[in-house]
Amino acid sequence: MINVNFLLYCSNFFKRAVVITSLLLMVLSLRSQQIVADSAMVVSAHPIASKVGAQIMRNGGNAFDAMVAVHFALAVVYPRAGNLGGGGFMVSRTANGNMYTLDFREKAPAAAHAELYLDKQGNVIEGLSLNTHLSAGVPGSVDGMLRAHERFGTVSLADLIQPSIELARVGFYISQDQAATLNRYEKELKERNENIPWIKDEIWKSGDLVQQEDLANSLTKIAERGWSGFYRGETAQQIVDESKRGNGIITAEDLENYSSVWREPIVGYYDEYKIIGMPPPSSGGIALMQILKMIEDCPIHKWGPDNKKTIHLIVEAERRAYADRSKHLGDPDFYDIPEFGLLNTYYLESRMNDFERKRASISNDIEPGNPPVLESVETTHYSIVDQFGNAVSVTTTLNGHFGSKIYVDGAGFFLNNEMDDFSSKPGVPNMFGLIGGEANLIEAGKRMLSSMTPTIVEKDGSLFMVLGSPGGSTIITSVLQVFLNVTEHEMGMQEAVSAKRFHHQWLPDKIFVEENTFDSKLKGKLSKMGHEFEMRRFIGKVDAILVKDKLLYGGADPRGDDTASGF
Ligand code: DON
């Protein structure tokens, strides 16, 4: 049954009408310089990593080669999220239009179980899934990079890792933003580790040199011995020893058994755009597609980005998609996900049945839906397009800033605290306020549900956009808004990335907004409808590339040191 209320709300099908985006709003939005390239481009969280990747392609390497080089470079120059000790997801589209997604998400160690973080009374022990050796999943990043390289790489692994080894050994100068982050987290880093050789005692300032000899040695082992240089031998032993030191449960067998998985992408359509997204255990692809489908028939192009109707509509769709996420999504190797039901057009129409034009829903009244069962049919993101037309979209993470903040002694890298992405107990929120149930309970060898949303978009059969973001639960909605800013609101790539963002995730029942996102009049109107607000300094940090008129336009998020580099 279709909700007439909803149809009426969306009844002005002027989607393709020309809209003059308000100049004032453009001026109000944050902006940095638009970077344009005509052959290849990398947009990542750190200028050095972007340059390393661009140089690999300038020398003839492809986007997958650049991905490996950028990933290892970020592990050195962006240690709060770039990593050897974490995991992530890759969405790629080769020049001939084939799509491949690789799941290199961390896995729960074999000794993990559903009560891991509960006390005898069955209550969650605060901090256990976040701040301890027990919070680390078995790292997947190195396996992911090596598998993608094996399949698509053209440059030797040693040549791709060499720049990172040098950066780690010779050192790099930190930025203002990195100095501030180190000052903020230094106390915890010192409390949790006896010795991080490069952490100093004085206040950090921009321009300080960071040299990581241990990390250079770990990288060298990977360059020389490949998979065995990390998952076996000295580095593996260092991880196991570190885990034991803090009553962790990662064993040599866990490392030996780690393997990433090639999965079928989530593919959907929004108007003339084909969206290629990451399937579970990421919730990103499904949730993004659900939200897009719920809003597709509404003329938000006509309403504009800062209109109460646009925001109310998107928030209500987000509320419903995140409610579904809480119940239906988890690791598909352990839980039967009603993927096709969740993306079914009739199901998504029915999700908006209780949409009210003038009033915010109350999240406690919105239950996760019952999709039809159908027959089968501090994270960081980087986007790369090469001179051959291949595209790679990778989001990778340690979860929190510096993950568990536990440094593998002698190996030079941090362990993730990804186990917090599991549902420690049904109904109890994780660090992003996300709630889960049976689908995402801890089980040995299972992958924890993620919000990471590396995405590639096609238009008329050609590559159109590559994008993704960090930001925990806000990743999905950050990707959504940047996509809509370009496709509906006619913004350029950089402008779309810089524009202010808002976010709703069902529970807690409020709209999170960056400062100055809505003016007081718009906020007043939305409040009258029953929406509540909470300020956030930043929502997401999107790095994206738009392909237009045979040129590549970079969108590097000014919320960080993010940089586009191309030629
Ligand atoms: O996989 C996830 O959804 C989270 N572990 C991502 C964490 C994140 O984005 C933190 N960075 N801002």
pLDDT (tens digit per residue) in 224-271:
999 999 999 999 999 999 999 999 999 999 999 999 999 999 999 999
Residue 9 has pLDDT above 60, yes or no: yes
What pLDDT score was predicted for residue 38? 96
- Tens-digit pLDDT profile for residues 438-448: 999 999 999 99
Q: How far is the CA of 515 from the centre of ligand 1 (A)?
A: 22
pLDDT over 50 (residue 26) = no
Q: How far apart are CA 380 and CA 86, in angstroms?
A: 11
State the average pLDDT over residues 156-166: 98
Per-residue confidence (pLDDT) for residue 28, from 0 to 100? 32
In short, whether 471's Cβ falls inside 6 Å of ligand 1 is yes
Of ligand 1's listed atoms, the one at least distance from the Cα of 421 is 5
SS3 307: coil
**Averaged pLDDT, 106-121:** 97
| pLDDT (0 to 100) of residue 32 | 61
Instruction: Give the residue among 83, 146, 69 at the shortest CA–CA distance from 403.
Output: 83
Quick one: pLDDT at residue 303? 97
Query: What confidence category does residue 10 fall into, taking pLDDT thresholds of 50, 70 and 90?
Result: confident
- Please compute the mean of the pLDDT values over residues 205-215 and round it to a whole number: 98
Ordered structural domains, the chain, with CATH: 4-33+272-378+454-540 (1.10.246.130)
What's the predicted TM-score (pTM) here?
A: 0.92
Tell me, using a 6 A CB cutoff, whether residue 283 lines ligand 1: no
pLDDT of 545 over the 70 cut: yes
Ordered DSSP codes for 505-537: -SSS-SEEEETTSS-HHHHHHHHHTT--EEEES
379 annotated active-site? yes
Specify the ligand 1 atom closest to the Cα of 448: 1
The Å distance, Cα 452 to ligand 1 centre, comes to 7
Q: Whose CA is nearest to atom 2 of ligand 1?
A: 450
Of the given ranges (26-35, 192-201, 396-405), which has the lowest mean pLDDT? Answer: 26-35
Distance 370 CA to ligand 1 centre (A): 27
Nearest CA to ligand 1 atom 10: 378
Indicate the range of 11-25, 323-337, 453-467 predicted with least confidence.
11-25
Among 451, 473, 474, 477, say which to mutate for ligand 1: greatest number of ligand atoms within 8 Å of CB.
451
Between CA 45 and CA 556 the distance in angstroms is 8
Q: Do 43 and 555 meet the contact criterion of CB atoms below 8 Å apart?
A: yes
Q: What pLDDT does residue 361 have?
A: 92
User: Quick one: pLDDT at residue 13?
Assistant: 34
Q: Return the pLDDT at 2.
A: 52
Please report the pLDDT score of residue 377 as a whole number.
Answer: 41
Q: What is the pLDDT of residue 21?
A: 25
CB 489 within 8 A of CB 540: no
* 38: nearest Cα among 56, 64, 52, 57: 57
Say if CB 348 and CB 370 are below 8 A apart. no
Mean per-residue pLDDT, 41-68: 98
Per-residue model confidence (pLDDT) at position 11: 59
Nearest-CA residue for atom 4 of ligand 1: 472
Give the pLDDT of residue 6. 72
451 Cβ below 6 A of ligand 1: yes
Q: What is the dihedral of CA 280, 283, 285, 288, to 10 degrees?
A: 160
Question: Which of these is catalytic: 101, 235, 379, 517?
Answer: 379
The confidence score (pLDDT) of residue 372 equals 74
Give residue for tokens 């060298």.
220
Q: Is 103 in the pocket of ligand 1 (CB under 6 A)?
A: no
Closest CA to 479 of 351, 316, 292: 292
Q: pLDDT by residue (tens digit) across 451-491?
A: 999 999 999 999 999 999 999 999 999 999 999 999 999 99
**Residue with the nearest Cα to atom 6 of ligand 1?**
472
Q: Is the CB–ligand 1 distance for residue 397 below 6 Å? A: yes
Closest-CA residue to 461 (of 266, 292, 272, 267): 272
Residue 371: predicted pLDDT: 84
Ligand 1 mean position, distance from CA 421 (Å): 8
Q: 168: which 2 tokens?
A: 């780690």
- pLDDT exceeds 90 at position 373: no
Mutational test site, ligand 1, from 452, 469, 538, max ligand atoms within 8 Å of CB: 452
Q: Whose CA is nearest to atom 5 of ligand 1?
A: 399
Tell me the backbone φ, ψ of residue 267, rounded to 5 degrees.
Answer: -120, 130
Residue of 104, 329, 475, 478 best suited for mutating to test ligand 1, as the one with most atoms within 8 Å of CB: 475
The protein residue whose alpha carbon is closest to atom 11 in ligand 1 is 378
Higher pLDDT, 74 or 373: 74
Q: Ligand 1: which of 286, 402, 419, 432 to mutate, most ligand atoms within 8 Å of CB?
A: 432
The pLDDT tens digits of the residues spanning 168-206 come to: 999 999 999 999 999 999 999 999 999 999 998 899 999
**Is the CB of 421 inside a 6 Å radius of any atom of ligand 1?**
yes
